[in-house]
Amino acid sequence: MSKEPFAAKLTSLWIGGFFFWIIKGFRGKLIEQFEKEYESRNVWTGFFITLISVSLIVYFLVIY
């Protein structure tokens, strides 16, 4: 993740929005997932997806 708080939040927002767009089966436009009402949901989801991804990478690098 980025060192700048704004960039880190924006990255999590994009990851979370894309995740929910995939979950909805690509219905609608991706831009619909970035509305103000979904911002908190997308940021937290993106943060946890990033955290899980980094944890898995570290785990596999340490184990293997």
Give the chain's domain count: 1
- Tell me which residue range forms the domain holding 17: 5-63
pLDDT digit string (tens) for 48-60? 999 999 999 999 9
- 8 has a pLDDT exceeding 70: yes
Contact 30, 18 (CB under 8 A): yes
Burial 44-58 (b: 16+ CB within 10 A, else e): ebbbeebeeeeeeee
Query: Tell me: the pLDDT tens digits for 9-44?
Result: 888 999 999 999 999 999 989 899 889 999 999 999
DSSP SS3 for 29: coil
pLDDT band at 2 (very low <50, low <70, confident <90, very high): low
Does pLDDT of 1 surpass 80?
A: no
Please name the helix (run of DSSP H) or strand (run of DSSP E) that holds residue 27, with its range, or none. Answer: none
Nearest Cα residue to 21 out of 8, 51, 9, 13: 13
